[in-house]
Structure 1
């Protein structure tokens, strides 16, 4: 009878806890490659979060807007609706209103919104910024203060603003921070080291090494995830022994395959099905390559990915 040899790993991914109380979740903790339960401890089950916006999601597809039409004009109601109806592991609140190229809401106004949401739900909260590094530094400083005591995850700290975001988020107000890099193992190591040098341990950091919806960029994402996990587990690289989160929703729902109307491309089939397929395909790939948490938009995608994780973990 064939007996498969067990692969030995020298490293282990650290654990990061977000949220408080009975719904708090832990990310990471594995000492083997993704879903390799035959080799050892797979750590905490990968977590699935759902994205909401602090303003009406004008840019979302009609089918998504229809799903949330009764609550999407009120951020608190939207968060409560998602928590009650879909029970995600965490909720990602994207602060679209803060974008300097849009409404440019003040950090103070956004902090009030975050405070109202985090006090209205029991599910752990992740707060995503604008992508404008200067604005995000001011934004997260106020948000971290408003969310003190709720152990929220602030997404993201980058090389241009990590001193402000990480110091305020973790050291001053005891939240957690996402370290973001651009699909490169060396850049991932670099931002982690910089944050560690502030006196912030890996137990307070989650990595976002980048995400993509498909094609050439997606191959880069998958290979980067593979390299990061292999370095962390087989080379015991402590600078990379950090859980990874992948913002799948914001990448897949802006791809042409997801947004092209059926009347423009009838041969592509149902638009909603296409969007879900793009989201599921991207999510499955990043999970199988090492993501410990994914952010999704469509409830059907959440349902499929829950089944995917369950089946692979047996």
Structure 2
């Protein structure tokens, strides 16, 4: 008797979310099955890989990256144009570290001018990340969302503390996409999505940032959370969890001890740059394999490796 493979027929489907404008715009999501399970159903859009840049010179980054960007990193516009032309990511993530109240504390108005100049200078879609200070990010994104109106950016991210301001500005007033940020917990992710929906933001305009950790740092819990979210979204047709996932990998992987320890302090660990790349690549590949629809990386070698990886398994 011929072998007949069983097929898991899911009831739900992940929403498609479009980011950007013009011929470089892309969609994430659209899966009707678990990641890359093409034998079970439609696998949706291929994962996308973006590059992180800052609104300030990256003083804390490793030497090789500072050397690579030394001629352009003093200008976010020139930095973005360089990344688009020379490195070719799917999108650019502009992270406003300079607006941090504990740092330069740039004003929301100044950041809005920077974002407007960047988005008008490139063709790639723009993802905008804040300081991590929830109060400042609410004020920041309100001004930045207005400044980049019409460009369909994704704002990372709205939290339970500031979703009303960010959702109203980015998602409702100015027609952008909103990243809903929770902390590696299916219930927290669902709750924030529900709150955003009650505010009036369409589920089709939301991408989830459910949190991230570097491999070896509780990463298995992150993986299990993604699995639970996707199984609920697909198997239970839970519409409050049917948003695609974007993971800012670089925000975490370049801060762990394996990537920050100097070679003279840990000679047995080898080259510092190679350690950072390895940590970033292994984290990004793992989270994509389990279901993340887009990742943000920092190193050009990480970008090239992950793009090759996604092309090979898609």
Q: Could you tell me the TM-score, scaled by structure 2's length?
A: 0.98
Per-residue deviation at 1:2? 3.1
SS of the equivalent of 1:140 reads helix
Tell me the distance in 2 between the aligned counterparts of 1:251 and 1:152: 22
Please identify, of 62-71 and 98-107, the stretch whose mean Cα deviation from structure 2 is larger: 62-71
Structure 2 match to 1:112: 113
Tell me the distance in 1 between the aligned counterparts of 2:75 and 2:129: 17
SS of the equivalent of 2:17 reads strand
CA RMSD of aligned residues (A): 0.9
Could you report, residue by residue, the CA deviation over 1:194-238 in whole angstroms, capped at 9, with x for unpaired residues? 000011111110000000012242122111111111110111110
Per-residue deviation at 1:243? 0.4
Structure 1 match to 2:275: 274
List runs of 5+ in structure 1 lacking aligned partners: none
Matches within 5 A, 1:24-103: 24-103=25-104
Structure 2 match to 1:263: 264
Tell me the distance in 2 between the aligned counterparts of 1:68 and 1:4: 51
Could you report, residue by residue, the CA deviation over 1:259-297 in whole angstroms, capped at 9, with x for unpaired residues? 212122111111111111000111011111110000001
SS of the equivalent of 2:292 reads coil
Tell me the distance in 2 between the aligned counterparts of 1:219 and 1:61: 27
Tell me the distance in 2 between the aligned counterparts of 1:2 and 1:264: 57
Matches within 5 A, 1:234-245: 234-245=235-246
Tell me the distance in 2 between the aligned counterparts of 1:139 and 1:224: 30
Could you report, residue by residue, the CA deviation over 1:36-79 in whole angstroms, capped at 9, with x for unpaired residues? 11211110000000000000001111122122111111110000
Does 2:224 correspond to 1:246?
Answer: no
Matches within 5 A, 1:291-306: 291-306=292-307
Per-residue deviation at 1:252? 0.4
Could you report, residue by residue, the CA deviation over 1:109-168 in whole angstroms, capped at 9, with x for unpaired residues? 000000000000010000100111111110000001001000011111001110000111
Tell me the distance in 2 between the aligned counterparts of 1:304 and 1:180: 27
SS of the equivalent of 2:81 reads helix
Q: Could you tell me the TM-score, scaled by structure 1's length?
A: 0.98
Tell me the distance in 1 between the aligned counterparts of 2:266 and 2:217: 23
Tell me the distance in 2 between the aligned counterparts of 1:167 and 1:214: 35
SS of the equivalent of 2:78 reads helix
Could you report, residue by residue, the CA deviation over 1:232-251 in whole angstroms, capped at 9, with x for unpaired residues? 01111100000000000010
Structure 1 match to 2:230: 229
Tell me the distance in 2 between the aligned counterparts of 1:246 and 1:295: 6
Structure 1 match to 2:169: 168
Structure 2 match to 1:130: 131
Tell me the distance in 1 between the aligned counterparts of 2:110 and 2:6: 57
Tell me the distance in 2 between the aligned counterparts of 1:271 and 1:204: 39
Tell me the distance in 2 between the aligned counterparts of 1:122 and 1:3: 47
List runs of 5+ in structure 2 lacking aligned partners: none
